[in-house]
Structure 1
Protein backbone atom coordinates (compact mmCIF):
# COMPACT_ATOMS: atom_id res chain seq x y z
CA UNK A 1 0.00 0.00 0.00
CA UNK A 2 1.30 3.45 -0.85
CA UNK A 3 -1.22 5.41 1.16
CA UNK A 4 -1.79 6.26 4.81
CA UNK A 5 -5.09 5.12 6.34
CA UNK A 6 -6.43 7.12 9.26
CA UNK A 7 -8.26 4.68 11.53
CA UNK A 8 -10.56 5.03 14.56
CA UNK A 9 -11.43 2.05 16.79
CA UNK A 10 -14.21 1.56 19.35
CA UNK A 11 -14.47 -1.31 21.83
CA UNK A 12 -15.39 -1.45 25.50
CA UNK A 13 -12.93 -4.29 26.24
CA UNK A 14 -9.79 -2.43 27.25
CA UNK A 15 -7.39 -5.36 26.87
CA UNK A 16 -8.64 -6.16 23.35
CA UNK A 17 -8.54 -2.49 22.38
CA UNK A 18 -5.01 -2.00 23.71
CA UNK A 19 -3.77 -5.13 21.92
CA UNK A 20 -5.34 -4.05 18.65
CA UNK A 21 -3.95 -0.52 19.04
CA UNK A 22 -0.44 -1.89 19.67
CA UNK A 23 -0.57 -4.08 16.58
CA UNK A 24 -1.87 -1.24 14.41
CA UNK A 25 0.74 1.20 15.73
CA UNK A 26 3.43 -0.97 14.13
CA UNK A 27 1.94 -0.63 10.65
CA UNK A 28 3.58 1.98 8.41
CA UNK A 29 0.43 2.59 6.35
CA UNK A 30 -2.06 2.96 9.22
CA UNK A 31 -2.37 5.83 11.68
CA UNK A 32 -4.60 5.21 14.68
CA UNK A 33 -6.22 8.59 15.25
CA UNK A 34 -8.16 7.61 18.36
CA UNK A 35 -9.89 4.99 20.51
CA UNK A 36 -13.39 4.99 21.98
CA UNK A 37 -15.05 2.86 24.66
CA UNK A 38 -18.64 3.19 23.39
CA UNK A 39 -20.74 4.51 20.55
CA UNK A 40 -21.14 8.02 21.90
CA UNK A 41 -17.39 8.43 22.31
CA UNK A 42 -16.98 7.06 18.78
CA UNK A 43 -19.34 9.66 17.28
CA UNK A 44 -17.39 12.45 19.02
CA UNK A 45 -14.08 10.95 17.89
CA UNK A 46 -15.17 10.65 14.25
CA UNK A 47 -16.51 14.20 14.21
CA UNK A 48 -13.21 15.47 15.56
CA UNK A 49 -10.75 13.33 13.57
CA UNK A 50 -12.65 12.41 10.38
CA UNK A 51 -10.94 9.00 9.99
CA UNK A 52 -10.83 7.09 6.69
CA UNK A 53 -11.94 3.81 8.29
CA UNK A 54 -13.83 3.09 11.51
CA UNK A 55 -13.71 -0.25 13.36
CA UNK A 56 -16.33 -0.73 16.04
CA UNK A 57 -17.47 -3.45 18.39
CA UNK A 58 -21.17 -4.29 18.12
CA UNK A 59 -22.04 -4.64 21.80
CA UNK A 60 -20.99 -1.61 23.84
CA UNK A 61 -22.47 0.35 26.78
CA UNK A 62 -24.35 3.66 26.41
CA UNK A 63 -24.57 3.33 22.61
CA UNK A 64 -23.99 0.09 20.73
CA UNK A 65 -22.20 -0.29 17.41
CA UNK A 66 -25.41 -0.67 15.41
CA UNK A 67 -26.90 2.61 16.66
CA UNK A 68 -23.55 4.37 16.25
CA UNK A 69 -23.17 3.08 12.69
CA UNK A 70 -26.65 4.28 11.71
CA UNK A 71 -25.78 7.74 13.04
CA UNK A 72 -22.36 7.74 11.36
CA UNK A 73 -23.97 6.90 8.00
CA UNK A 74 -26.71 9.50 8.55
CA UNK A 75 -24.02 12.14 9.10
CA UNK A 76 -21.79 10.86 6.30
CA UNK A 77 -23.20 8.27 3.84
CA UNK A 78 -19.65 7.55 2.67
CA UNK A 79 -18.38 6.51 6.13
CA UNK A 80 -16.45 3.23 5.98
CA UNK A 81 -17.28 1.08 8.98
CA UNK A 82 -16.01 -2.40 9.92
CA UNK A 83 -17.94 -4.32 12.58
CA UNK A 84 -16.06 -6.30 15.23
CA UNK A 85 -18.02 -9.32 16.38
CA UNK A 86 -18.05 -12.47 18.50
CA UNK A 87 -18.97 -15.88 17.07
CA UNK A 88 -22.54 -15.87 18.37
CA UNK A 89 -23.63 -12.49 17.00
CA UNK A 90 -24.96 -13.38 13.53
CA UNK A 91 -28.15 -11.32 13.94
CA UNK A 92 -26.17 -8.27 15.02
CA UNK A 93 -23.71 -8.64 12.13
CA UNK A 94 -26.64 -8.54 9.71
CA UNK A 95 -28.02 -5.47 11.50
CA UNK A 96 -24.61 -3.78 11.27
CA UNK A 97 -24.47 -4.38 7.52
CA UNK A 98 -28.02 -3.10 7.09
CA UNK A 99 -27.08 -0.06 9.19
CA UNK A 100 -24.32 0.76 6.71
CA UNK A 101 -21.17 -1.14 7.71
CA UNK A 102 -19.01 -2.18 4.76
CA UNK A 103 -17.54 -5.25 6.40
CA UNK A 104 -17.10 -7.31 9.54
CA UNK A 105 -14.43 -9.29 11.35
CA UNK A 106 -14.60 -11.85 14.10
CA UNK A 107 -12.51 -10.75 17.05
CA UNK A 108 -10.24 -13.76 16.72
CA UNK A 109 -9.22 -12.75 13.17
CA UNK A 110 -5.48 -12.88 12.60
CA UNK A 111 -3.32 -9.81 12.00
CA UNK A 112 -3.20 -10.23 8.22
CA UNK A 113 -6.96 -10.51 7.90
CA UNK A 114 -7.45 -7.38 10.01
CA UNK A 115 -5.03 -5.47 7.76
CA UNK A 116 -6.69 -6.88 4.62
CA UNK A 117 -10.12 -5.82 5.84
CA UNK A 118 -8.94 -2.28 6.65
CA UNK A 119 -7.30 -1.90 3.22
CA UNK A 120 -10.29 -3.38 1.39
CA UNK A 121 -12.86 -1.17 3.12
CA UNK A 122 -10.58 1.86 2.68
CA UNK A 123 -10.87 1.20 -1.07
CA UNK A 124 -14.67 1.35 -0.60
CA UNK A 125 -15.13 -2.40 -1.08
CA UNK A 126 -17.07 -4.81 1.10
CA UNK A 127 -15.15 -7.23 3.32
CA UNK A 128 -16.62 -10.50 4.61
CA UNK A 129 -14.71 -12.32 7.34
CA UNK A 130 -12.99 -15.51 6.14
CA UNK A 131 -14.70 -17.42 8.95
CA UNK A 132 -18.21 -16.63 7.69
CA UNK A 133 -20.49 -19.61 8.35
CA UNK A 134 -23.04 -20.96 5.88
CA UNK A 135 -25.73 -19.90 8.36
CA UNK A 136 -24.51 -16.29 8.43
CA UNK A 137 -24.06 -16.24 4.64
CA UNK A 138 -27.69 -17.25 4.25
CA UNK A 139 -28.86 -14.61 6.73
CA UNK A 140 -26.94 -11.88 4.90
CA UNK A 141 -28.25 -13.09 1.53
CA UNK A 142 -31.83 -12.80 2.81
CA UNK A 143 -31.23 -9.38 4.37
CA UNK A 144 -31.67 -5.92 2.86
CA UNK A 145 -27.90 -5.59 2.56
CA UNK A 146 -26.86 -5.75 -1.08
CA UNK A 147 -23.64 -3.99 -2.08
CA UNK A 148 -23.35 -6.10 -5.23
CA UNK A 149 -25.40 -3.93 -7.54
CA UNK A 150 -23.03 -3.80 -10.51
CA UNK A 151 -22.77 -0.63 -12.57
CA UNK A 152 -22.74 -2.87 -15.64
CA UNK A 153 -24.04 -6.37 -16.20
CA UNK A 154 -21.62 -9.05 -15.04
CA UNK A 155 -21.87 -12.36 -16.85
CA UNK A 156 -20.24 -15.69 -16.07
CA UNK A 157 -19.54 -18.52 -18.47
CA UNK A 158 -20.98 -21.97 -17.79
CA UNK A 159 -17.55 -23.12 -16.61
CA UNK A 160 -17.23 -20.13 -14.28
CA UNK A 161 -20.68 -20.81 -12.84
CA UNK A 162 -19.71 -24.43 -12.24
CA UNK A 163 -16.55 -23.35 -10.43
CA UNK A 164 -18.46 -20.72 -8.43
CA UNK A 165 -20.78 -23.44 -7.10
CA UNK A 166 -17.81 -25.61 -6.10
CA UNK A 167 -16.02 -22.67 -4.44
CA UNK A 168 -19.20 -22.00 -2.45
CA UNK A 169 -19.12 -25.62 -1.28
CA UNK A 170 -15.66 -24.92 0.22
CA UNK A 171 -13.71 -27.14 -2.18
CA UNK A 172 -10.03 -26.33 -2.71
CA UNK A 173 -8.58 -25.57 -6.14
CA UNK A 174 -7.10 -29.08 -6.23
CA UNK A 175 -10.42 -30.69 -5.30
CA UNK A 176 -12.26 -28.63 -7.92
CA UNK A 177 -9.69 -29.55 -10.54
CA UNK A 178 -9.98 -33.25 -9.72
CA UNK A 179 -13.76 -33.07 -10.00
CA UNK A 180 -13.99 -31.25 -13.34
CA UNK A 181 -10.73 -32.49 -14.89
CA UNK A 182 -8.73 -29.27 -14.86
CA UNK A 183 -5.30 -28.54 -13.42
CA UNK A 184 -5.06 -26.81 -10.06
CA UNK A 185 -3.35 -23.85 -11.80
CA UNK A 186 -6.19 -23.50 -14.32
CA UNK A 187 -8.77 -23.52 -11.50
CA UNK A 188 -6.78 -20.87 -9.64
CA UNK A 189 -6.86 -18.73 -12.80
CA UNK A 190 -10.64 -19.09 -12.99
CA UNK A 191 -10.92 -18.24 -9.28
CA UNK A 192 -8.88 -15.06 -9.71
CA UNK A 193 -11.08 -13.91 -12.61
CA UNK A 194 -14.25 -14.75 -10.66
CA UNK A 195 -13.10 -12.67 -7.65
CA UNK A 196 -12.24 -9.78 -9.99
CA UNK A 197 -15.63 -9.92 -11.72
CA UNK A 198 -17.46 -10.04 -8.39
CA UNK A 199 -15.14 -7.43 -6.83
CA UNK A 200 -14.76 -9.55 -3.71
CA UNK A 201 -11.76 -10.57 -1.62
CA UNK A 202 -12.24 -14.18 -0.57
CA UNK A 203 -14.44 -17.29 -0.59
CA UNK A 204 -16.92 -15.69 1.82
CA UNK A 205 -17.36 -12.86 -0.67
CA UNK A 206 -17.96 -15.34 -3.51
CA UNK A 207 -20.61 -17.12 -1.44
CA UNK A 208 -22.40 -13.87 -0.60
CA UNK A 209 -22.34 -12.64 -4.20
CA UNK A 210 -23.53 -16.00 -5.53
CA UNK A 211 -26.43 -16.12 -3.07
CA UNK A 212 -27.47 -12.51 -3.70
CA UNK A 213 -27.38 -13.02 -7.46
CA UNK A 214 -29.04 -16.46 -7.56
CA UNK A 215 -25.95 -18.30 -8.79
CA UNK A 216 -26.37 -20.84 -6.00
CA UNK A 217 -29.17 -21.82 -3.60
CA UNK A 218 -28.68 -21.66 0.13
CA UNK A 219 -29.39 -25.38 0.53
CA UNK A 220 -26.43 -26.16 -1.74
CA UNK A 221 -24.06 -24.74 0.88
CA UNK A 222 -24.80 -27.48 3.42
Structure 2
Protein backbone atom coordinates (compact mmCIF):
# COMPACT_ATOMS: atom_id res chain seq x y z
CA UNK A 1 0.00 0.00 0.00
CA UNK A 2 1.30 3.45 -0.96
CA UNK A 3 2.20 5.87 1.80
CA UNK A 4 -0.54 8.40 2.41
CA UNK A 5 -0.22 12.01 1.30
CA UNK A 6 -0.37 14.08 4.49
CA UNK A 7 -2.45 17.24 4.18
CA UNK A 8 -3.44 20.13 6.44
CA UNK A 9 -6.39 22.44 5.68
CA UNK A 10 -6.53 26.13 6.60
CA UNK A 11 -9.78 28.09 6.24
CA UNK A 12 -11.66 30.39 8.61
CA UNK A 13 -14.97 28.80 7.62
CA UNK A 14 -15.52 25.62 9.63
CA UNK A 15 -18.08 24.25 7.17
CA UNK A 16 -15.58 24.53 4.31
CA UNK A 17 -12.98 22.66 6.37
CA UNK A 18 -15.38 19.88 7.28
CA UNK A 19 -16.67 19.60 3.72
CA UNK A 20 -13.22 19.28 2.17
CA UNK A 21 -12.13 16.83 4.86
CA UNK A 22 -15.18 14.68 4.15
CA UNK A 23 -14.38 14.65 0.42
CA UNK A 24 -10.75 13.73 0.95
CA UNK A 25 -11.25 11.22 3.76
CA UNK A 26 -12.73 8.75 1.28
CA UNK A 27 -9.41 8.51 -0.55
CA UNK A 28 -7.16 5.69 0.66
CA UNK A 29 -3.90 7.47 -0.13
CA UNK A 30 -4.80 10.85 1.40
CA UNK A 31 -4.65 11.69 5.10
CA UNK A 32 -6.10 14.97 6.41
CA UNK A 33 -3.94 15.43 9.50
CA UNK A 34 -5.20 18.77 10.80
CA UNK A 35 -7.88 21.41 10.31
CA UNK A 36 -6.98 25.01 11.20
CA UNK A 37 -9.26 28.03 11.21
CA UNK A 38 -6.42 30.55 10.92
CA UNK A 39 -2.78 31.16 10.10
CA UNK A 40 -1.54 31.37 13.67
CA UNK A 41 -3.24 28.09 14.54
CA UNK A 42 -1.60 26.14 11.73
CA UNK A 43 1.81 27.67 12.47
CA UNK A 44 1.54 26.63 16.13
CA UNK A 45 0.59 23.11 15.04
CA UNK A 46 3.51 22.80 12.61
CA UNK A 47 6.02 24.05 15.19
CA UNK A 48 5.22 21.06 17.40
CA UNK A 49 5.91 18.50 14.68
CA UNK A 50 9.14 16.67 14.01
CA UNK A 51 10.49 17.27 10.48
CA UNK A 52 9.49 13.78 9.37
CA UNK A 53 5.91 14.37 10.51
CA UNK A 54 5.32 17.58 8.56
CA UNK A 55 2.56 17.45 5.94
CA UNK A 56 3.39 17.25 2.24
CA UNK A 57 0.62 19.68 1.27
CA UNK A 58 -1.17 22.62 2.88
CA UNK A 59 -4.46 23.76 1.36
CA UNK A 60 -4.85 27.44 2.27
CA UNK A 61 -7.74 29.87 1.88
CA UNK A 62 -6.76 33.33 0.58
CA UNK A 63 -9.39 35.39 2.39
CA UNK A 64 -8.89 34.91 6.12
CA UNK A 65 -8.61 37.21 9.14
CA UNK A 66 -6.58 38.38 10.97
CA UNK A 67 -3.77 36.70 9.00
CA UNK A 68 -4.73 36.39 5.33
CA UNK A 69 -3.59 33.65 3.00
CA UNK A 70 -0.91 35.80 1.38
CA UNK A 71 0.87 36.43 4.66
CA UNK A 72 0.53 32.80 5.69
CA UNK A 73 1.97 31.55 2.40
CA UNK A 74 5.00 33.82 2.76
CA UNK A 75 5.66 32.46 6.25
CA UNK A 76 5.14 28.84 5.21
CA UNK A 77 7.46 29.12 2.21
CA UNK A 78 10.15 30.65 4.40
CA UNK A 79 9.88 28.29 7.40
CA UNK A 80 8.71 25.11 5.65
CA UNK A 81 9.90 25.27 2.02
CA UNK A 82 9.19 21.58 1.42
CA UNK A 83 5.47 21.90 2.15
CA UNK A 84 3.65 22.36 -1.14
CA UNK A 85 0.79 24.82 -1.08
CA UNK A 86 -2.57 24.67 -2.83
CA UNK A 87 -4.50 27.93 -2.70
CA UNK A 88 -8.27 27.82 -2.21
CA UNK A 89 -10.18 30.82 -3.49
CA UNK A 90 -13.75 31.89 -4.22
CA UNK A 91 -12.58 33.77 -7.30
CA UNK A 92 -9.53 34.11 -9.52
CA UNK A 93 -7.60 37.26 -10.31
CA UNK A 94 -4.62 37.38 -12.63
CA UNK A 95 -2.75 39.69 -10.25
CA UNK A 96 -3.22 37.18 -7.42
CA UNK A 97 -2.10 34.32 -9.65
CA UNK A 98 1.12 36.11 -10.59
CA UNK A 99 1.91 37.01 -6.99
CA UNK A 100 1.25 33.48 -5.75
CA UNK A 101 3.41 31.98 -8.49
CA UNK A 102 6.24 34.28 -7.47
CA UNK A 103 5.90 32.98 -3.91
CA UNK A 104 6.05 29.38 -5.13
CA UNK A 105 2.48 28.16 -4.76
CA UNK A 106 1.82 24.82 -6.49
CA UNK A 107 -1.87 25.08 -7.46
CA UNK A 108 -5.00 27.25 -7.35
CA UNK A 109 -8.45 25.75 -6.80
CA UNK A 110 -11.88 27.38 -6.67
CA UNK A 111 -13.71 26.34 -3.51
CA UNK A 112 -16.57 25.03 -5.62
CA UNK A 113 -14.34 22.57 -7.48
CA UNK A 114 -15.59 19.02 -7.83
CA UNK A 115 -14.20 16.16 -5.78
CA UNK A 116 -12.43 14.77 -8.84
CA UNK A 117 -10.61 18.10 -9.39
CA UNK A 118 -9.53 18.22 -5.74
CA UNK A 119 -8.15 14.70 -5.93
CA UNK A 120 -6.49 15.30 -9.30
CA UNK A 121 -4.84 18.48 -8.03
CA UNK A 122 -3.54 16.84 -4.86
CA UNK A 123 -2.13 13.87 -6.77
CA UNK A 124 -0.47 16.15 -9.35
CA UNK A 125 1.03 18.48 -6.75
CA UNK A 126 2.34 15.51 -4.76
CA UNK A 127 3.86 13.82 -7.81
CA UNK A 128 4.88 16.73 -10.07
CA UNK A 129 4.94 19.74 -7.75
CA UNK A 130 2.24 21.68 -9.61
CA UNK A 131 -1.24 21.61 -11.12
CA UNK A 132 -2.71 24.01 -13.66
CA UNK A 133 -6.34 24.28 -14.75
CA UNK A 134 -7.80 25.74 -17.93
CA UNK A 135 -8.56 28.95 -16.03
CA UNK A 136 -4.95 29.19 -14.85
CA UNK A 137 -3.78 28.78 -18.43
CA UNK A 138 -6.03 31.63 -19.59
CA UNK A 139 -4.61 34.00 -17.01
CA UNK A 140 -1.03 32.89 -17.57
CA UNK A 141 -1.51 33.60 -21.26
CA UNK A 142 -2.23 37.22 -20.37
CA UNK A 143 1.33 37.49 -19.02
CA UNK A 144 2.68 36.37 -22.38
CA UNK A 145 1.12 39.45 -23.96
CA UNK A 146 2.08 41.92 -21.26
CA UNK A 147 5.75 42.93 -20.84
CA UNK A 148 4.88 44.76 -17.61
CA UNK A 149 3.41 41.65 -16.05
CA UNK A 150 6.26 39.55 -17.38
CA UNK A 151 8.72 41.88 -15.69
CA UNK A 152 6.73 41.84 -12.45
CA UNK A 153 7.10 38.07 -12.15
CA UNK A 154 10.86 37.98 -12.67
CA UNK A 155 12.19 41.36 -11.58
CA UNK A 156 15.88 40.56 -11.37
CA UNK A 157 16.26 37.86 -13.98
CA UNK A 158 19.64 37.24 -15.58
CA UNK A 159 20.27 35.55 -18.91
CA UNK A 160 20.50 31.78 -18.71
CA UNK A 161 23.31 29.88 -20.38
CA UNK A 162 22.52 27.31 -23.08
CA UNK A 163 23.23 24.50 -20.64
CA UNK A 164 20.91 26.06 -18.04
CA UNK A 165 18.19 26.28 -20.70
CA UNK A 166 18.71 22.58 -21.41
CA UNK A 167 18.19 21.89 -17.70
CA UNK A 168 15.07 24.07 -17.66
CA UNK A 169 13.58 22.13 -20.60
CA UNK A 170 14.13 18.82 -18.81
CA UNK A 171 12.74 20.18 -15.53
CA UNK A 172 9.60 21.14 -17.46
CA UNK A 173 9.41 17.54 -18.68
CA UNK A 174 9.25 16.50 -15.00
CA UNK A 175 12.67 14.86 -15.05
CA UNK A 176 14.42 14.25 -11.74
CA UNK A 177 17.96 15.44 -11.11
CA UNK A 178 19.25 11.92 -11.73
CA UNK A 179 17.34 11.66 -15.02
CA UNK A 180 18.57 15.08 -16.15
CA UNK A 181 22.12 14.03 -15.26
CA UNK A 182 21.81 10.95 -17.48
CA UNK A 183 20.45 12.91 -20.45
CA UNK A 184 23.08 15.66 -20.24
CA UNK A 185 25.97 13.41 -19.15
CA UNK A 186 26.44 15.30 -15.90
CA UNK A 187 26.58 14.33 -12.25
CA UNK A 188 23.40 14.76 -10.17
CA UNK A 189 25.32 17.22 -7.99
CA UNK A 190 26.15 19.35 -11.03
CA UNK A 191 22.50 19.30 -12.08
CA UNK A 192 21.49 20.43 -8.59
CA UNK A 193 23.99 23.29 -8.87
CA UNK A 194 22.51 24.28 -12.24
CA UNK A 195 18.99 24.16 -10.77
CA UNK A 196 19.97 26.44 -7.88
CA UNK A 197 21.70 28.91 -10.19
CA UNK A 198 18.62 28.99 -12.39
CA UNK A 199 16.42 29.77 -9.39
CA UNK A 200 18.82 32.51 -8.27
CA UNK A 201 19.04 34.04 -11.75
CA UNK A 202 15.31 34.22 -12.45
CA UNK A 203 14.26 35.03 -8.89
CA UNK A 204 11.95 32.03 -8.55
CA UNK A 205 11.27 30.03 -5.38
CA UNK A 206 10.88 26.51 -6.76
CA UNK A 207 10.11 24.30 -9.76
CA UNK A 208 6.77 26.04 -10.31
CA UNK A 209 8.58 29.32 -10.89
CA UNK A 210 11.01 27.66 -13.31
CA UNK A 211 8.13 26.25 -15.36
CA UNK A 212 6.32 29.61 -15.45
CA UNK A 213 9.55 31.31 -16.51
CA UNK A 214 9.95 28.75 -19.30
CA UNK A 215 6.38 29.31 -20.50
CA UNK A 216 6.73 33.09 -20.54
CA UNK A 217 10.04 32.89 -22.43
CA UNK A 218 8.79 30.31 -24.96
CA UNK A 219 11.12 27.63 -23.66
CA UNK A 220 8.23 25.32 -22.80
CA UNK A 221 4.57 25.03 -23.78
CA UNK A 222 2.11 24.65 -20.93
CA UNK A 223 0.06 21.47 -21.11
CA UNK A 224 -3.18 21.83 -19.17
CA UNK A 225 -6.18 19.75 -18.32
CA UNK A 226 -9.01 21.12 -20.46
What range describes the TM-score normalised by the shorter chain of this pair?
Answer: 0.5 to 0.7
Aligned to 1:75: 79
Output the CA distance in 1 between the equivalents of 2:110 and 2:11: 13
Q: Shift of the alpha carbon at 1:139?
A: 4.1
Query: Are 1:33 and 2:48 an aligned pair?
Result: no
Aligned to 1:91: 95
Aligned to 1:177: none
CA 1:27 to 1:109, structure 2 compared with 1: closer, same or farther past 3 Å?
A: same
Q: SS of the counterpart of 1:83? A: strand
Query: Are 1:12 and 2:20 an aligned pair?
Result: no
Query: Does the aligned pair in 1 maintain the 2:128–2:174 contact within 8 Å?
Result: no
Q: Shift of the alpha carbon at 1:86?
A: 2.1
Output the CA distance in 1 between the equivalents of 2:219 and 2:70: 30
Query: Are 1:144 and 2:153 an aligned pair?
Result: yes
Aligned to 1:48: 48
Between Structure 1 and Structure 2, how many residues are aligned?
A: 169
Which structure 1 segments of 5+ residues have no match?
156-195, 201-206, 218-222
Output the CA distance in 2 between the equivalents of 1:88 and 1:127: 15
How well do the aligned residues superpose, as a CA RMSD in angstroms?
Answer: 3.3
Q: SS of the counterpart of 1:132? A: helix
Q: Shift of the alpha carbon at 1:150?
A: 6.4
Q: Shift of the alpha carbon at 1:216?
A: 9.2
Among 148, 169, 184, the residue aligned to 1:154: 169
Which structure 2 segments of 5+ residues have no match?
155-163, 176-210, 222-226
Output the CA distance in 2 between the equivalents of 1:17 and 1:150: 41
Q: SS of the counterpart of 1:214? A: coil
Deviations 1:171-222 (A, max 9, x none): xxxxxxxxxxxxxxxxxxxxxxxxx96449xxxxxx96774232699xxxxx
Aligned to 2:191: none
Output the CA distance in 1 between the equivalents of 2:172 and 2:215: 15
CA 1:39 to 1:104, structure 2 compared with 1: closer, same or farther past 3 Å?
A: same
Deviations 1:34-53 (A, max 9, x none): 11112111222333352111
Output the CA distance in 2 between the equivalents of 1:105 and 1:19: 15
Query: Does the aligned pair in 2 maintain the 1:70–1:100 contact within 8 Å?
Result: no
Moved >4 Å (runs of 4+): 207-210
